[in-house]
A and B are shown apart, each in its own frame.
Chain A
Amino acid sequence: MPLLTKFDPPANISDLDAIPNGHDAWSESIAFWTDDAISRRVEPLVGIGLSQYVNPLKKDLAAPSATKEVTWLAFPLVLVAKHNGDRNAARQDADRKPATGAARLHDEYCEWHVTLQNNKIVRVDFTCEGPEYWEALAQGYPKSVPVNSRHFNAVGDKNLVLTLYRRFVSADVQLADLFPNGKYDPLNKWNSSHGAMHLTHPANSLQAEISLGADATVRRQRTGIELTDSKQLICCAKYGGAQRASDPTIGSDVNALARQGRLITLLNPVALYIKDLDTQGWTTPDGTNAKNFWKIVRGTPGNGLRAVFEVPPAKGYAVSDIKIGGVAIQFGGQIAEKITVKLTGIASAPNIVNNNARSCAGGAPLPGCPAVLSGLAAVETHEEITIPAPRLAG
């Protein structure tokens, strides 16, 4: 595979083309996060130059390469757990609009905003665009890229941001709403209480996604036995939210590639995408295929950045009049439950690097990591217990 020359914007979307140096600045940002993850997080564990997570601008992934698409459902698993399995309570919680300036509760890299009319849902907007992209659109570089890592004169385009917000969220958006004191506010009212343009949850960022991918390439062992189980891995390595649907599976799928000795990176363009909506078993009052009401409005089908589920007013019925398996849609979360979000990794041929497995990260167990999987005392008698091994190929 030849070296990549530039990182591209999510879904190859064209916004940055109109902004001088916009694309270059974006590419530099992705490269910064990538190199930062490698040097600060991975190399201290595996050794300089031995990271299996690589920057494809600098390191060639030897052919043949493997692609690994990781998928998960958009409805936050932590909310179902928070409500002890009471799904409707979780859905109600999830649909609640945050206060102005506050983040949403959706932590599976897909957030949504419900529009009601006469107590019925008429529209739901879904986004999986990272905040960093919008910071770049607004002022040239994302906040988390340090100034001394910025080599392009990119200043963004406030008017473009305003235009996009007006197109996708509301015609009432004002510049001052988005740029109080001249600086972009990612938790402005049109992205919190009054709409959803991009992700707000603190865990939902592109940088976090890259860090997770990098961290997960570090092989792990406990008492000399290499870990392969998806839950054991995240509890040992602490590379993300152990109670989420997304992180544990991303982590264990990337780690599997690492165990095969591959070089790994995230597929360019690096982003999280809305892959699809499952409308099997959905019924509409007039028999229209419910999938017709699902539109990818930013990005492309299969690589959606923003989607809208809306019934045109001319139909005479609302989203809430549609049933999923006989249950009327009362919550946007019911739609989120059927949305698949994805992330794609790409890897070199196997057996390029053979790193030793590292021991588990220290400190208190992650939330959602029981003692028995965190390697902590499961034994009162302090007897030497061998944590049983995965049988290696034989």
Chain B
Amino acid sequence: MSENPTRNLNLPEEEVLDVEDIQGDILPGFNKDHLTLLFFRIKDVTSTRSWLRELARHVATTREVLDDRRFRRAITARRGSEPDGLIATWINLGLSAAALQKLVPQEPEFADDAFRIGLMERSGILGDPALGSGEPGDPRLWKVGGPGKEADVAVLVASDDPAAMRRQVQGILSSVTNSLGKPVLELIYKQECHDLSGDLKGHEHFGFRDGISLPGVRGRASRDSNDFVTPRLLDPASVEALRFSKPGQALLWPGQFVFGYRKQDPNDPVNPLPDLGTTIPREFPDWARNGSLLVIRRLRQDVPAFREGVRGITQQLARTRLPLPESEVAAKLVGRWPSGAPVIRTEKSDLVELARDPLANNDFGFQGSSPQWRLRSGEPLPAFPSATDDTEAIRCPRGAHIRKMNPRDQGTDIGPASVTLTRIPMRRGLPFGKPYDLSLKSGKDTLRGDRGLMFISYQTSIVDQFEFILSDWANHSDKPNNSPEGHDPILGRPVGGGQAVFEFSDGTPVRCLLDPRWVIPTGGGYFFVPSISALNTVLATEPRN
């Protein structure tokens, strides 16, 4: 193996990211068990500028978060277990388009329609109930982000320790009032999120392990040719190392998530689109370089409704030629068993060891493309059952949540698999609320159903990366690929308010009807996450008249 592995295989050169300037939840992501979101409205524009500049000193950068991640990884590798007692607390922040209008009115707008218009007015495209309809999910009922409650500023405080997190939060809340007691910013809403504990650690409220499939990101943290932000586990002399960082984890160009870097070419999984340069209209104003667009969606999860829904589908199937056990029904709705093991690799029962193995749990395609990987370490790959060519969608239904959200090697209604890579957002969410069953131990659900997932994602196009996947793939039964078909049972809202369907198959589709309103939007917003330098300069400066 050459000392410079890129020489062997025409590996494309990956740019150095401005790791001291990019906010750290974008890349590599906070990845903490505790997170508080604070949503503010700007009351005093001038004072907000100084507040931003002051807060910028405390904002966590990619450099800091990455160093912490690597530090912990090194300790874990040596000791065989995660270190105890290390506490890091991180702060990041985002600004809405309305906030930018107030702070930098002289600057050109972003090209992204969704960011400019804002979540509330875009929510119709996502399939949310209409404003004023009174239905659960109606933006009028949102905790934040609905009429009169749209946030200008979102602050994210993450920590290994809830007490440390709360101290930081308190500090921020105190800072939004000036020395005369006047509000600089007004708090609209505060939400604590915590990773679920015990058997549900790393899982969401319906009981399924979450966040297994995150894309890798190309780019280096320094000029060292091997200092990749996303660890590379594959043998650099293997052709798959051109496209993947570890089995099943595609590498995407950083311009998909951070402004100012090269973007993914819809025709070429390996080489990026050429840099746009200055002659073509930019998607972002110059000062927004090293920033990103942030989607926050507070999603309530109705756990008893989900369980009842699964039971109902199981009963429908029992009357057909394809009866299935309830556990398999639930797994096929999601596409993974509760442990995270993908049904395409283990159709009839969960396989916890597979789910726990990061070299296996994301290693599959839906049409049989599952390369024979070669690891850098030389170790053999874990020997678990393989994924099959499931174009008939027998093992994993077409409507299965993970098959809808990421079609992998399948062709879709927007082209072949290489195009799909341009549509993937970077997810960073965390659950909120205690699990349903724990809540019931006291006799009744003290949360009254208010538990769920704080969905968080980063992308440079909200329209193409976040909204499209929902509005097109989740909400249509015949997308991204058809026959059999199915709406996304977790997130889908059938277009036109029609009947949601989900087809299982044994070679011929078996159709079930469902009412997939198990996930209800209850708030959120679209924000821009600026670079540290932008917080210190453009955003902190009074515009010249």
Contact = CB atoms under 8 A, between A and B. Distances in A.
B389 A68 contact: no
B237 A325 contact: no
Interface residues of A, number: 74
A242 B416 contact: yes
Interface in A343-394: 350, 368-370, 372-373, 378-381, 383, 385-394
A68 B386 contact: no
Measured as residues with beta carbon below 8 angstroms from the partner, the interface class of chain B is 35 or more
Interface of B: 7-10, 111, 113-114, 117, 121-127, 237-240, 242-243, 263, 265-271, 273-274, 276, 280-281, 283, 365, 367-373, 385-389, 391-392, 409-419, 463, 467, 471-472, 475-476, 478-479, 481-483, 495-496, 507-508
A64 B321 CA distance: 16
Given A253-B411, A326-B121, 18 more contacts: A66-B392, A68-B483, A86-B111, A230-B410, A231-B416, A232-B369, A242-B416, A245-B413, A260-B392, A279-B495, A281-B471, A283-B124, A326-B117, A340-B476, A370-B267, A370-B271, A379-B8, A379-B239
A69 B411 CA distance: 12
B415 A280 contact: no
Interface in A228-246: 228-232, 234, 242-245
Interface centre among B273, B283, B482 (most CB of A within 10 A): B482
Contacts of A77: 266, 414-415, 419
Contact of B389 (A64, A80, A390): A390
A228 B389 contact: yes
B416 A71 contact: no
Given A231-B416, A231-B417, A326 B367 contact: no
A251 B412 CA distance: 11
B113 A86 contact: no
A228 B113 contact: no
B417 A229 contact: yes
B493 to A, nearest CB: 8
Given A249-B481, A391-B387, A372 B124 contact: no
Given A84-B276, A326-B117, A388-B371, A72 B127 contact: no
B528 to A, nearest CB: 17
A232 B369 CA distance: 10
Given A64-B508, A71-B479, A385-B238, A391 B415 contact: no
A325 B463 CA distance: 10
26 contacts: A66-B508, A70-B411, A72-B413, A73-B414, A84-B280, A85-B283, A242-B267, A243-B415, A244-B415, A249-B416, A252-B416, A256-B392, A278-B471, A280-B495, A281-B471, A326-B113, A326-B122, A370-B265, A378-B10, A379-B8, A388-B240, A388-B372, A390-B369, A391-B370, A391-B372, A391-B388
A385 B236 CA distance: 12
A220 to B, nearest CB: 13
A147 B127 CA distance: 54
Contacts of B495: 278-280
A373 B269 CA distance: 9
B9 A379 contact: yes
Nearest to B460: A85
B370 A69 contact: no
A325 B125 contact: yes
Interface core residue of A77, A83, A275, A324 (most chain B CB under 10 Å): A77
A259 interface: yes
